[in-house]
Amino acid sequence: MPSVVLCLHAHLPLQLKKFSFFDIGHSPDYFDGEESRRVLGRMAKDCYLPINAALLKLIRRYRGRFKVSCSVSGMLLEQLEEEQKAVLTSFRRLADTGHVEFLSEPYHHSLASLFSENEFREQVALQRRKVRTLLGKMPRTLRNTGLLYGNDVARIAESMGFRVILAGGAGRVAGCDTTSTWRPAGCRKLTVLFGHDRLAGELALRDAGDAGNGQALRAGECARRLAAGYQGEEMINLFADYGNFGEHYRNETGTLDFLEAVPAILLKHRNWRFLTPSDAAADHEPADKIDVPGHISRADTGKDSSMAWLGNHMQKDAARSLYALEAKARETKNRKRIGVWRDLQASENFYRMNTTGLSNGAPCRDFHPFASPYDAYIGYMNILNDFSGRLAGKTGVRT
């Protein structure tokens, strides 16, 4: 019977301060606490709380026939623990149902898999422990930042004991059918699920269609098309961000209709079901091995799989400069400084330097103080200049 694997992702970085050249050597405070709390409060009200309430309602209404998976970054869990306990409680209620699978991901929603295997492993392990501590669940499925995937990421995932990994960018892999499961090249037990990127994008943008974009599909129309188009053992993997359904388009425009219409229409057909990634991997034998020697992601728009984050010289320079500080940060054995280095890894910091106007899976543009990608780059490099000096034991030095 056909099935839907619905995975929702939640992450929120700390908001950077405007850090000028003249701040170098004078302030080790790179994050705007007040703005971070404001943004978190807004997301809690407009996004996390209503969506989690809707998910809980669906699970109870369909008595377990509706299942979903959630991936929550460690960075967000940390903020919820300190500032928004009601949201954390709403995630715990979902966990208590037994019908929600919580996934693992890099703690800081970072690009560590592209720069440092050791750091990537540590961040995944940190987030895994955080989920177990706060939500009482041990993740068995890995979701890398932006659904970045390749043979090397799959190898690491299997070596860390994961049984499933999610991936985007299937359109760049010849012969990849997203309705099947696959075995990554070089792996013996790991299963990879590829997201249906186009359909997930259409669903996420459906209410933009209500505002005038006739190309977008309404959720009900999508669900009916699915019900009519699939009759076998196909899986429809829908990997989306919480923000697509609560923040980018406000609730009063009907954005939560997706969570009402799609399950209601599909579950009327007794042959349809909703699965978690672990369920899907257990129920479907891999179609074949799949070889992805480089990297692909949901943000793919061309030859560079990391175009959204590393598509120009500013982004590449900023990322290389940050990860070049890894050894110095670790040598300090100072948890606070290592923590700052990791907080600076949030992928949004590099996305904000993007000059191509990409928006697939991107954070909301009004969540940062920079007027342009160039301002974002300059401010970020000023922070790295200051941080590098502090790691070296220097103060008041501008280079």
Sign of CA dihedral 237, 242, 247, 250: positive
Q: Of 211-225, 272-286, 294-308, give the range with the top mean pLDDT.
A: 272-286
Domain chopping of the chain, boundaries: 3-290, 307-391
Residue 77 has pLDDT above 70, yes or no: yes
CA–CA distance from 70 to each of 134, 207, 271, 299, 325 (Å)?
Answer: 14, 22, 24, 20, 32
Average pLDDT, the chain: 87
Least confident range from 22-31, 213-222, 241-250: namely: 213-222
Predicted local confidence at residue 211, as pLDDT: 44
CATH code, residues 3-290: 3.20.110.20
Contacts of 96 (CB under 8 A, 6+ apart): none
Share of the chain above pLDDT 90, in %: 67
> Which residue reads 């509706």 in tokens?
66
Cα dihedral 334, 335, 336, 341, rounded to 10, equals 90
Question: Tokens representing 333?
Answer: 């054995």
State pLDDT tens for residues 35-50.
999 999 999 999 999 9
CA-to-CA distance for 118 and 136, rounded, in angstroms? 26
CA-to-CA distance for 393 and 126, rounded, in angstroms? 28
Predicted local confidence at residue 252, as pLDDT: 46
Q: DSSP state, 44?
A: I
State pLDDT tens for residues 343-384.
999 999 999 999 885 444 444 445 667 889 999 999 999 999
CA-to-CA distance for 245 and 8, rounded, in angstroms? 10
Query: Is 199 in contact with 5 (CB distance < 8 Å)?
Result: no
Least confident range from 87-91, 210-214, 291-295: namely: 210-214
**pLDDT (average), residues 164-177:** 90
Predicted local confidence at residue 298, as pLDDT: 79
Give 27's pLDDT tier (boundaries 50, 70, 90): confident
State pLDDT tens for residues 90-147.
999 999 999 999 999 999 999 999 999 999 999 999 999 999 999 999 999 999 999 9
Contacts of 327 (CB under 8 A, 6+ apart): none
Give 261's pLDDT tier (boundaries 50, 70, 90): confident
Predicted local confidence at residue 101, as pLDDT: 98
CA-to-CA distance for 66 and 276, rounded, in angstroms? 10
State pLDDT tens for residues 289-335.
999 999 998 765 444 456 789 999 999 999 999 999 999 999 999 99
- Stronger pLDDT, 289 or 202, i.e. the higher one: 289
Tell me the CB-side half-sphere exposure of residue 74, using CA atoms within 13 A: 26
